[in-house]
Amino acid sequence: MKKTVMLAALTGAFATAAHAQSSVTLYGIIDTGITYTSNQSGHSNWQVTDGAINTSRWGLRGNEDLGGGLKAIFQLENGFNVDTGGLRQNSRLFGRQAFVGLADDQYGGVTLGRQYDSVVDYVGPLALTGTQYGGTYFAHPFDNDNLDNDFRVDNSIKFQSANYSGFKFGALYGFSNQAGEFANNRAYSFGASYNYAGLTVAAGYLQLNNDVTSAAITNTNGALDGDDTFFAGRQRTWGAGAKYAFGPAVAGFVFTQTLLNQAFGISASQSGVTGGVALNGGSARFNNYEVNGRYAITPAISLAGAYTYTDGSLNGADPKWNQVNIQAAYLLSKRTELYLQGEYQHVIEDGLNIGAMINGLSNASATNNQVAVTAGIRHTF
């Protein structure tokens, strides 16, 4: 009897110790609001929208302590539309992220799965798009540099270093998973950032390769599977930026460039969205210049704004986009906020016959101008 009691006590102690060395966290964001748009296909529109700042999601992340500073890590993240309950990312169960790997406190981590590229990881936090201070509608035209996370990389292996006195770096490679097609439908990227006091600087590079003659861009085994913003043989995106925090204020600047070869089209980036652009199979270019800032008036009230100028080259023409964005947010608690934000986009088409289109909205404008105003609620858990 005494042995049984002792064994039960030891088993419980070991289980408690094992539990203390492992953790799994459930988290998420629910973001919805009412949006007025001045012009969508020639008509004004009032609509309930999902994710004006951050598209809704829930996920699981966890780690297991393996000893000696080494741990196993994983993350599964689902994207959904709160207005309909439907799945995002082409109806994937864990379309936002899905990876597992090992991480070391001294050196960094290696993970495998569906993951973000290095431009998103390092340059993304310096822009307002893709963050809580602007998000989806603040993206650069067509989200051409992917700073708003319109696509992820499948079949990828990623390394992210530890933080060395403010310096971090990383790289990613996405496999084609095709026999005899190693260089087709693959992706690779790398980037780095440095933080000192209130200053953060970062840079990153991404390259995607596709054999557009074989329609491999839709191959379900490749690095990109139906997420593509562009239908092109090669996409190269690089960017750099800086931000500086002083007291309750943060100011930043980001430059990104996307270059395309064998460019045949621009999708609207999201399922159910119209407004894509046909290209002639030549080269194309987007240069994006973003100036941004935010200010905490009180711990509960914040203001944020950005201006983006995009200089493009498409089908032999030189369109230009100007977009002004502003957001006011009020925290009801640490996890719930009300927000009011607006965007104005003006495009100089240069003969392309494309209308203004704020990222994340369902239709392009019938004119060169589009205005959107959203009143919403964002809850994190």
Secondary structure (DSSP) of 100-159: EEEEETTTEEEEEEEE--HIIIIIGGGSSTTSTTSGGGGPPGGGTT-TT----EEEEEEE
Class of domain 25-380: mainly beta
Direct distance between the N- and C-terminal alpha carbons of the chain, in angstroms, rounded to an integer: 46
Predicted local distance difference test score (pLDDT) of residue 158: 98
> What CA–CA distance (Å, rounded) separates 343 from 161?
36
Q: What is the pLDDT along the chain (381 residues), one digit of tens a residue?
A: 444 444 444 444 444 444 448 999 999 999 999 999 999 999 999 999 999 999 999 999 999 999 999 999 999 999 999 999 999 998 999 999 999 999 999 999 999 999 999 999 999 999 999 899 999 999 999 999 999 998 999 999 999 999 999 999 999 999 988 888 787 889 999 999 999 999 999 999 999 998 776 654 444 446 776 677 888 889 999 999 999 999 999 999 999 999 999 888 887 444 344 456 788 888 999 999 999 999 999 999 999 999 999 999 988 899 999 999 999 999 999 999 999 999 999 999 877 888 899 999 988 999 999 999 999 999 999
Domain ranges in the chain?
25-380
Question: Which residues lie across from 318 on neighbouring strands?
Answer: none
Distance CA 101, CA 243 (A): 31
Dist. CA 185–CA 212, nearest whole Å: 9
CA 239 to centroid of chain Cα atoms? 14
